Amino acid sequence: MDKLKMTAKVIRQDEIAYEIYSLLISAKEIADIAKPGQFVNLYSADKSRLLPRPISICEIDKTAGTLRLVYRVVGDGTKEFSALTSDHTIEVMGPLGNGFTLEGKKAIIIGGGIGIPPMLELSKQLDCEKSIVLGFRDEEFLSEEFDPYGTVYKSSDAGNIGVKGTVMDAIKEYGITGDVIYACGPIPMLRAISDYALANGITAQISMEEKMACGIGACLACVCKSKKVDEHSKVKNKRVCKEGPVFYAGEVEF
């Protein structure tokens, strides 16, 4: 089934770290068909803000018909969403993007910063041995929720959480190995992971959702170079929000 646009009821919202919010909405029709690594677009009630905001799906509960979205406040749109409470509804469209392909026997799941939330539903659904590597700036969030699904390793820029440095530093420090990598986070992190995977012959699925702006193919802010000519545009580029956000390492350039 294709994407849907609907009015979703807000069930609850909590600030789980500084300017990072966890929003639970009732959106049964979208939850029914959503996959890990996909995202939804949230629409502002302020009609002067026409472009929606793409937000990754952190958890999908098909039984309850709910989606959990964890996002960082980065501008007026997300600031408005952060004020939503259980009295409110919100316009939502989804599920969008391609999501992760579940594969491999020994996975390394890597989330950096606000790229951590989509890795939670993936960690739940992926049925194999899992090392989960989470990279923070200086404040930890969501990490204890990963504990039931694999061995969790941490790194932080400030050095106050886990290994001081990047997620790649943690992978080296702990000698973490696997036959498939799943990653989402800031572009420099994804570039380093992609280079590491290609150099070591490891399959890597990389979610580039950080590059997205409108999420609906309208602003072209998300275009990245691809190795092959794109069937849609006939040039060597891909829109992260349409053809992604998940790509195989080597498929796109950062």
Q: Which residues bind ligand FES (CB under 6 A)?
A: 212-215, 217-222, 239-241
Q: What is the dihedral sign for C-alpha 56, 205, 32, 68?
A: negative
Q: Which helix (H) or strand (E) holds 14?
A: strand 4-17
Nearer to ligand FES, 24 or 224 (CB): 224
Enter the tokens of residue 234. 């006939």
Nearer to ligand FES, 162 or 245 (CB): 245
Q: Identify the burial level of 236 via C-beta atoms within 10 angstroms of its C-beta, where 0-12 means exposed, 13-18 middle and 19 or more buried.
A: middle
Question: Shortest approach of ligand FES to residue 216 CB, angstroms?
Answer: 6
Question: Shortest approach of ligand FES to residue 64 CB, angstroms?
Answer: 30
Angle of helix 187-199 relative to helix 167-174, nearest 10 degrees, comes to: 40
From 151, 130, 161, select the one nearest 17 (Cα to Cα). 161
Question: Shortest approach of ligand FES to residue 222 CB, angstroms?
Answer: 3
Nearer to ligand FES, 45 or 218 (CB): 218
Nearer to ligand FES, 53 or 68 (CB): 53
Residue with tokens 């989470």: 134
Contact 171, 107 (CB under 8 A): no
Q: Can you give the C-alpha Rg of the chain in angstroms? A: 17
Question: Shortest approach of ligand FES to residue 54 CB, angstroms?
Answer: 7
Nearer to ligand FES, 105 or 234 (CB): 234
Question: Shortest approach of ligand FES to residue 129 CB, angstroms?
Answer: 35
Segments in 105-239 forming alpha helices (H): 118-125, 167-174, 187-199
